[in-house]
Amino acid sequence: MDRPLGGFDAQLGVRAAEVSAQRVELRLLVTPALHQLFGIVHGGVYCALVESAASLGAATWLGDEGRVVGVANQTDFLKAASGGELIAVGTPVHRGYSQQLWQVQITDSDGQLIARGQVRLQNLRPGGGRRP
């Protein structure tokens, strides 16, 4: 699978290489449009990749039972990047009835860890009821 995503992700140029309930892999080719003032990737790009990978995985897992919304995104910037491809891989840490927690690691094409983050997501189910 290598498909473009819509909305904000499309504006960034994010592509989905893999999407499942167990693992999400997103790819992004860095262009100067993604740089901040000093010629390196803007931190918001990393936050967006973390949010998108976690949201796609969480929504895939929840499926037709409802939809998910991010309620917390904590992203750490570990190494600067100015070009090449970024690869974001998201995996679940916890999946419960009302919330999920996903972790995401972003590497460059050489496998160097560039950023990492986690997103807590709320599972919104019709009626808001609990499982019996």
| Token pair recorded at residue 42 | 């803007």
Catalytic hit among 18, 25, 51, 85: 51
Residue 51 known to be catalytic:
yes
4-28 b/e with 16+ CB inside 10 Å = b?
ebeeebeebbbbbebbeeeebbbbb
For residues 117 and 114, give the distance between their C-alpha atoms in angstroms, rounded to a whole number. Answer: 11
Decide: 67 and 31 in contact? Cβ < 8 Å: no
Catalytic positions, written as ranges: 51
